[in-house]
């Protein structure tokens, strides 16, 4: 079988690693990298660290408005599909790369396989929500990470081709967390950070917050962004922030003096796993990081009014938080009863890649 996989952003590189490893043992996979994430620390490092095969096509689309970026991707992906004539197209998640790949394949009547189908935040102002809804309605096979995702699709009348596979991120975390620990334990993680910036203080495990901010709803609103970083300055522990390139452009417009906030460049997946596992708490607006924190048993505060990963809210492992200084302070300083509660096993057993691979092959036979 000949399959084209489309990736373009950090979370997709991570999900692609376990699937590609399984699928390529018996079949042909051609990988298209749209270039949605093109910064070296947001792209190249993931392919090296996770031993993901080098992309066969690098489209180099880069940044831009949603319409322009998606349009350029659609045009370039379509040409690759016409040249390669694959048996199917696999897309991950909810990015512009996801939607462009699904649209290109759909117009050419090529079967579409969507990994991480059925997620809903029910906030259509989010570009990601629009992308995932449209992709789901175009797809032939919909691989759902949770029972909630299956039910979300059922509410929209989508029942054909829906499979509960578990979450492929569990595969990735199980596969790479021990490697991460081997690389970065015994203070190596701090040595790596200090090599980049010697002025970074001597942080200790479980005595820092790990924070990321990249959603357009937070970064495009400078007042919200200023509020978030003002709150970080008032937290009771240092806040380590690997700063997304798009967020940095917005932060640079603000007159912020960082004292409690430690800004670093984006880091690779293995180091990010270690930082997540050993943080006191994760503070983020990222869907993927919410889930990784949950899987690594690190409490999380989500800087949004809703989450597509509702399962993480059980027992207080994750808490939603409005963008107000006092709300952020109170939510992050909450009593962490979750650490004494059982963590529900809602994301599967770590064999999602095998289930997805088998379903795709069966569909194409």
Nearest Cα residue to 196 out of 271, 260, 269: 271
Out of 33, 214, 244, 280, pick the active-site residue.
214
**For 275-300, how does the pLDDT look when each residue is reduced to its tens digit (9 = 90+)?**
999 999 999 999 999 999 999 999 99
Task: Domain ranges for the chain, please list them.
Answer: 2-167+348-364, 171-340
pLDDT along the chain (365 residues), means of 10: 94 92 96 76 70 89 84 96 98 96 98 98 92 98 98 98 98 94 96 93 96 90 94 97 86 87 92 98 95 96 95 95 98 96 88 98 89
CATH homologous superfamily of 171-340 equals: Glycogen Phosphorylase B; (3.40.50.2000)
**Residue 66 known to be catalytic:** no
Q: How far are the Cα atoms of 29, 92, 113, 160 from residue 356, in angstroms, in the given order?
A: 14, 12, 9, 15
Tens of pLDDT, residue by residue over 69-90, are 899 999 999 999 999 999 999 9
Average pLDDT, the chain: 93
Predicted local confidence at residue 43, as pLDDT:
58
The C-alpha atoms of residue 214 and residue 290 are separated, in whole angstroms, by 13
- Decide if 88 contacts 109 (C-beta within 8 A): no
pLDDT tens, 202-219?
Answer: 999 999 999 999 888 898
3-class SS string, the chain: CEEEEEECCHHHHHHHHHHHHHHCCCCEEEEEECCCCCCHHHCHHHHHHCCCCCCCEECCCCCCCHHHHHHHHHHHHHHHHHHHCCCEEEEECCCHHHHHHHHHHHHCCCCEEEECCCCCCCCCCCHHHHHHHHHHHHCCEEEECCHHHHHHHHHCCCCCCEEECCCHHHHHHHHHHHHHHHHHCCCHHHHHHHHHCCCCCCCCCCCCEEEECCCHHHHCCHHHHHHHHHHHCCCCCCEEEECCHHHHHHHCCCCCCCCCEEEECCCCHHHHHHHHHCCCEEEECCHHHHHHHHHCCCCEEECCCCCCCHHHHHHHCEEECCCCHHHHHHHHCCCCHHHHCCCCCCCCCCCHHHHHHHHHHHHHC
The predicted structure's pLDDT at residue 330: 98
Whole-structure pTM value: 0.92
pLDDT in tens, 103-142: 999 999 999 999 999 999 999 988 999 999 999 999 999 9
Q: What pLDDT score was predicted for residue 256?
A: 80
- The whole-number pLDDT of residue 250 equals 87
Cα gap 287→347, rounded to integer Å: 14
The two domains 2-167+348-364 and 171-340 share their CATH topology (first three levels equal): yes
Give the CATH number of domain 2-167+348-364.
3.40.50.2000
Distance CA 148, CA 266 (A): 31
The reported pLDDT for the residue numbered 66 is: 85
């Amino acid at each position: 079988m000949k399959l084209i996989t489309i990736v373009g952003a950090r979370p997709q590189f991570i999900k692609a690693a376990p699937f590609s490893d399984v699928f390529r043992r018996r079949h042909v996979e051609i990988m298209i990298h749209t270039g949605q994430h093109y910064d070296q620390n947001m792209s190249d490092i993931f392919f090296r660290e996770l031993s993901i095969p080098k992309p066969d096509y690098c489209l180099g689309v880069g940044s831009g408005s949603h319409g322009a970026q998606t349009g350029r991707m659609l045009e370039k992906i379509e040409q690759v599909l016409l040249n390669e004539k694959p048996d199917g197209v696999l897309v991950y998640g909810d990015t512009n790369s996801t939607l462009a790949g699904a649209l290109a394949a759909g117009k050419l009547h090529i079967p579409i396989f969507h990994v991480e189908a059925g997620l809903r935040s029910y906030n259509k102002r989010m570009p990601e929500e629009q992308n995932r809804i449209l992709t789901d309605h175009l797809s032939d096979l919909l691989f759902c990470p949770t029972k909630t995702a299956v039910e979300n699709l059922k509410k929209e009348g989508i029942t054909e081709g829906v499979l509960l596979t578990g979450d492929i991120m569990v595969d990735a975390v199980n596969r790479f967390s021990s490697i991460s620990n081997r690389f970065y334990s015994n203070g190596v993680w701090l040595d790596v950070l200090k090599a980049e910036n010697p002025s970074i203080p001597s942080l200790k495990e479980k005595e820092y917050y790990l924070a990321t901010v990249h959603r357009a709803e937070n970064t495009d609103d400078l007042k919200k962004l200023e509020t978030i970083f003002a709150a970080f300055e008032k937290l009771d522990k240092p806040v380590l922030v690997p700063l997304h390139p798009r967020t940095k452009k917005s932060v640079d417009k603000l007159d912020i003096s960082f004292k409690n906030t430690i800004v670093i460049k984006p880091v690779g997946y293995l180091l990010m796993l270690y930082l997540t596992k050993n943080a006191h708490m994760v503070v983020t607006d990222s869907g993927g990081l919410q889930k990784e924190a949950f899987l690594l048993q690190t409490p999380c505060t989500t800087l949004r009014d809703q989450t597509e990963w509702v399962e993480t809210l059980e027992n207080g492992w994750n808490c939603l938080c409005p963008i107000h200084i006092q709300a952020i302070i109170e939510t992050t300083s909450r009593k962490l009863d979750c650490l004494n509660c059982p963590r529900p096993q809602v994301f599967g057993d770590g064999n999602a890649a095998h289930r997805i691979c088998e379903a795709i092959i069966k569909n194409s036979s």
